[in-house]
Chains A and B, each alone.
Chain A
Amino acid sequence: SQTIHQWPATLVQPVGSPLSLECTVEGTSNPNLYWYRQAAGRGLQLLFYSVGIGQISSEVPQNLSASRPQDRQFILSSKKLLLSDSGFYLCAWIQGSSYNEQFFGPGTRLTVL
């Protein structure tokens, strides 16, 4: 069966510090991968998605970046965090077409102080 992992589960970082959030998927190959951010009391904002290794599409210009070094690994990074980067970060994957179910990870809660 397929599973998706995210870590860390929670993170508190000072403004200006770097960020690295990791997402890995097990039990599937060549999935489409997605990073979302959910700010407090708000909906989901798609940040990045990837249809293959090294292929990253950015949805919103900001100080975040994403990388996909391996087929089932998706990393969200920042060189310098802003207060506005606080939120709940969700990784998700789809096998094949977007008409299929999108599976979400448990999320990482990031607080920037």
Chain B
Amino acid sequence: GDSVTQMEGPVTLSEEAFLTINCTYTATGYPSLFWYVQYPGEGLQLLLKATKADDKGSNKGFEATYRKETTSFHLEKGSVQVSDSAVYFCALTHTDKLIFGTGTRLQVFP
């Protein structure tokens, strides 16, 4: 069945470092791909999305490109801030629901 695999965390970085969180997927058809972010004690909120191959989603300095040839949707940011510390979830659409990865915790230190 369809699935999402994320790199295990935590990812620990110093402020202004470059961030990559890997996400790969297995799916039949052509799903849309999402990154959601969860700040401590809160629900999830959409960070960015891409609906077809080669689309690039971007928001708040984060980017991810839908790569069909490598079935990947890696999240990147050029310079992280302490306020980016959160758990990041990769997800794909599957009929009436989303399938989430297990989440990757990012910790950014000053």
Residues of A within 8 A of B (CB): 32, 34, 42-44, 46, 49, 51, 57, 90, 92, 97-99, 101-102, 104-107
- Among residues of A, the one whose C-beta sits closest to the C-beta of B46 is A101
Q: Number of residue pairs across A and B with beta carbons under 8 Å?
A: 53
- Among residues of B, the one whose C-beta sits closest to the C-beta of A50 is B96
Expressed in whole angstroms, the Cα–Cα distance for A51 and B97 within the complex equals 10
Pick the residue among B32, B44, B89, B102 that contacts A99 (CB under 8 A): B32
A98 adjacent to B51 (CB under 8 Å):
no
Pick the residue among A42, A99, A107 that contacts B43 (CB under 8 A): A107
- Among residues of B, the one whose C-beta sits closest to the C-beta of A32 is B96
A106 adjacent to B42 (CB under 8 Å):
yes
A104 adjacent to B45 (CB under 8 Å):
yes
- Which residues of A lie under 8 Å from residue B43 when comparing CB positions? 90, 92, 104-107
Instruction: Write 24 A-B pairs (CB below 8 A) sorted by A numbering.
Output: A32-B96, A42-B102, A43-B89, A43-B102, A43-B103, A44-B44, A44-B89, A44-B100, A46-B98, A51-B96, A92-B43, A97-B93, A98-B95, A98-B96, A98-B97, A98-B98, A99-B32, A101-B34, A101-B49, A102-B34, A104-B36, A104-B43, A106-B42, A107-B43
